[in-house]
Amino acid sequence: MVTGASRGIGQACALTLARAGAKVAVAARALDKLEQLAAEIKAGGGEAFPVAIDMESQASIKEGFARVAKEFGRIDILVNNAGVTRDGLALRMKAEDWDLVLRTNLSGAFFAIQQVLSGMMRERWGRIINISSVVGEAGNAGQANYVASKAGLIGLTKSLAQEIASRNVTVNAVAPGFVDTDMTAVLNEDLKNRMKQAIPLGRFGTPDDIAAAVRFLASEDAGYITGHVLDVNGGMYMR
C-alpha cells in the first residue's frame, strides 16, 4: 500500500515495488491519476488496485484500507508517503494551515498504520516505511507546520519500532532531500542553482532515488533494520 501515489515519489515507489513483484494498492485523492498508474503497472505484468483516500480524514482512511483488504487481502508493506504543504512564517501562520498539514502528514500516517498493525502482528511479518524529509531533521524557515509533521514521523517511527519489533514488524523512515518533483518544479532556476550548491553531490534527487531506498527497506535484506532514518539527500545534511 502506497499513499500519495498519484505522482512524484509515491508513484515511483509504487512502480518500483511492482517491478519487485509486489501487488500494489495505490492511494491518493486523484482517482483518475491512480487508475492511469494502475494501468501502467498492469501493462508491465504487475498487479495494482487504485483506491481514493483523503489522508486528512480518518473515516476515509478506514474505508479505503478496508476496500484494499477486501480486494487484496492483508497488507504486508505500508509506505506512508502522502503529504501536503501550507508554507508561511510562524508569526502569520493560520491555524487551519497548521492543522491541515499536521492532520494529513502525521495523523493520517498514524491512522493508516493502525489499519495494518493487527494483520502484520498476526502474520509476524510486516514493513512500515514513513516518508519524512531532510527538513524534519534540520528544520527550515517558513515551514514550521511541515517540519513539525515530518519530525513527528521520525518520532512515530522510532516509538512504533520498539512497540512491535517482537512480532518481526519493522518500522523505518526515509528522509529525502530536495527531489525533482512537482513541488520543486515551480522554483526558479536561480533558486534551484543556489539549493544545489548546498548539496555535495551537486544535483537534486529523483523520485527513483527515494523509491530504491523504500524497496530496500521493504525487502528481506533489511530484516534487521528497524527504527532507522535513512537519509537520501545527496549529502546536504549529515548527522
Residue numbers of the domain that contains 55: 2-232
45 within domain boundaries: yes
Domain tally, the chain: 1
Distance, in Å, from the CA atom of 142 to the CA atom of 3, rounded to the nearest integer, reads 25
Q: What is the pLDDT of residues 33-90, one digit of tens each?
A: 999 999 999 999 999 999 999 999 999 999 999 999 999 889 999 999 999 999 999 9
What is the band of 14 on the pLDDT scale with cuts at 50, 70, 90?
very high
For the record, the C-alpha cell of 218 comes out as: 521493504
237 within domain boundaries: no
175 within domain boundaries: yes
Q: Please determine, for residue 182, whether its predicted confidence score (pLDDT) is greater than 80.
A: no
62 within domain boundaries: yes
Q: Please determine, for residue 185, whether its predicted confidence score (pLDDT) is greater than 80.
A: no
Average the pLDDT over each of 28-37, 120-129, 182-191 and give the range with the smallest value: 182-191
CATH of the domain at 162: 3.40.50.720
Q: What is the largest CA-CA distance in the chain?
A: 52
| Mean pLDDT (whole number) for 137-153 | 97
Tell me the whole-structure pTM to 2 decimals. 0.96
18 within domain boundaries: yes
| Mean pLDDT (whole number) for 24-39 | 97
Q: What is the pLDDT of residues 91-132, one digit of tens each?
A: 999 999 999 999 999 999 999 999 999 999 999 999 999 999
78 within domain boundaries: yes
Q: What is the pLDDT of residues 201-219, one digit of tens each?
A: 999 999 999 999 999 999 9
pLDDT of residue 148: 98
DSSP E strand stretches across 13-57: 24-28, 48-52
Q: Which residues are catalytic?
A: 146
Average pLDDT, the chain: 96
In sequence order, the 6+-apart residues with CB closer than 8 A to the CB of 27 are: 1, 2, 3, 4, 5, 34, 50, 51, 52, 53, 64, 68, 82
130 within domain boundaries: yes
| Mean pLDDT (whole number) for 184-213 | 89
110 within domain boundaries: yes
